[in-house]
Chain A
Amino acid sequence: MSEVQRRKYTPEEKTAIFDGEFMPHIDSMYNFAFRLTFDEDDAKDLVQDTYMKAFRFINSFEQGTNAKAWLFRILKNSFINEYRKKSKQPAKVDYQEVETFYNSDDVDYQSTTDLRAESVKDMLGDEISNALNALAVDFRTVIILADLEGFTYEEMAKILDIPIGTVRSRLHRARNLLKDKLRGYAQSMGYNTDEEEE
Chain B
Amino acid sequence: MEKNEQSAGERKLQCSDVSKCFQLLESILDGEMGEEGKDVLKEKLAKCQPCFEHFHLEQAIREVLKTKCTKQPCPDKLADSIRQKIQEIK
Contacts and interface: CB of A to CB of B under 8 A. Distances in A.
Interface of A: 11, 18, 23, 26-31, 34-35, 40, 44, 47-48, 51-52, 55-56, 103, 105, 108-109, 111-113, 115-118, 120-121, 123-125, 128-129, 132, 143-144, 146-148, 152-153, 168-169, 171-172, 175, 178-179, 182
A143 B26 contact: no
Interface in B7-62: 18-19, 22-23, 26-27, 30-32, 50, 53-54, 56-62
Contact of B31 (A18, A111, A152, A169): A152
A35 B69 CA distance: 9
B48 to A, nearest CB: 11
A109 B18 contact: yes
Interface string B58-75: 111111111011111011
Given A118-B1, A172-B26, A179-B61, A48 B82 contact: yes
A52 B85 CA distance: 8
Given A120-B61, A171-B26, A51 B74 contact: no
A115 B79 contact: no
B33 to A, nearest CB: 11
Contacts of B81: 48
Given A18-B86, A153-B30, A168-B27, A116 B57 contact: yes
Contact of A31 (B58, B63, B70): B70
Contacts of B32: 152-153, 168
Interface residues of B, number: 40
Q: Which 6 A-B pairs have the closest CB atoms?
A: A125-B68, A30-B74, A117-B60, A117-B56, A112-B54, A120-B60
A150 B80 CA distance: 27
Nearest to B30: A146
Given A120-B57, A125-B69, A172-B23, 10 more contacts: A26-B74, A31-B71, A40-B75, A48-B78, A56-B89, A105-B19, A113-B53, A128-B64, A146-B30, A171-B30
B1 to A, nearest CB: 7
Contacts of B53: 112-113, 117
A50 B58 CA distance: 32
A51 B86 contact: yes
B78 A30 contact: yes
Contacts of A178: 61
B58 A128 contact: no
